[in-house]
């Protein structure tokens, strides 16, 4: 069964909230900072990383709608697995652009170092991609047969 649009959106939300939330909590104190921003174990760092996660989630729903439209031109109406991994490029670029210019409410312009963003986004993306394409099929055995829907 191919994941449906509804299933992909549900999976994206579930994965970003659960895995993204936990990974963000664990990785934020370890992110590199610069002289202007101390991305250590403080509230401002967590606020920035969780706002980036929230921005990724909201824009991700929009991306799913765009991907769904593009997939309608494909024979299988689905992405190859590798496409799911390389979509990090366009999604991360858009989120970084919004964060860097200060378009994300709660994050000031130029306040998040690029490498902190890159590491945070990449680790979360890779863990979610690996989990979704492998081990998730064990605890959520019917997930695949319900078009990727969680509920």
The pair of structure tokens assigned to 25 is 């909590």
Segments making up each domain of the chain, as ranges: 5-137
Q: pLDDT tens-digit profile of 79-112?
A: 788 888 899 999 999 999 999 999 999 888 888 8
In Å, the largest CA–CA distance within the chain is 51
Q: Residue 2: which pLDDT band, with cuts at 50, 70 and 90?
A: low
Report the pLDDT value the prediction gives residue 34, as an integer from 0 to 100: 47
Q: Is the pLDDT of residue 10 over 80?
A: yes
The pair of structure tokens assigned to 64 is 């799913």
Report the pLDDT value the prediction gives residue 32, as an integer from 0 to 100: 85
Cβ atoms < 10 Å from Cβ of 19: 16
Residue 3 burial (C-beta neighbours within 10 Å; 0-12, 13-18, 19+) = buried
Cα Rg of the chain (Å, integer): 16
Q: Percent of the chain having pLDDT more than 90?
A: 49
Q: pLDDT tens-digit profile of 44-89?
A: 888 999 999 999 999 999 999 999 898 888 887 777 888 888 999 9
């Amino acid at each position: 069964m191919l994941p449906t649009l509804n299933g992909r959106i549900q999976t994206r939300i579930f994965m970003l909230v659960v895995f993204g939330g936990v990974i963000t909590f664990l990785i934020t104190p370890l992110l590199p900072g610069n002289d202007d921003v101390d991305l250590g174990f403080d509230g401002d760092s967590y606020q920035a990383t969780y706002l980036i996660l929230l921005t990724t989630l909201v824009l991700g729903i929009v991306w799913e709608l765009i991907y769904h439209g593009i997939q309608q031109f494909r024979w299988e109406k689905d992405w190859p697995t590798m496409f799911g991994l390389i979509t990090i490029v366009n999604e991360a670029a858009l989120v970084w652009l919004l964060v860097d210019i200060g378009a994300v409410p709660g994050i000031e312009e130029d306040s998040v170092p690029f490498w902190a963003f890159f590491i945070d986004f990449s680790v979360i993306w890779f863990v979610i991609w690996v989990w979704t394409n492998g081990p998730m099929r064990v605890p959520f055995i019917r997930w695949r047969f319900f078009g990727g829907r969680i509920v």
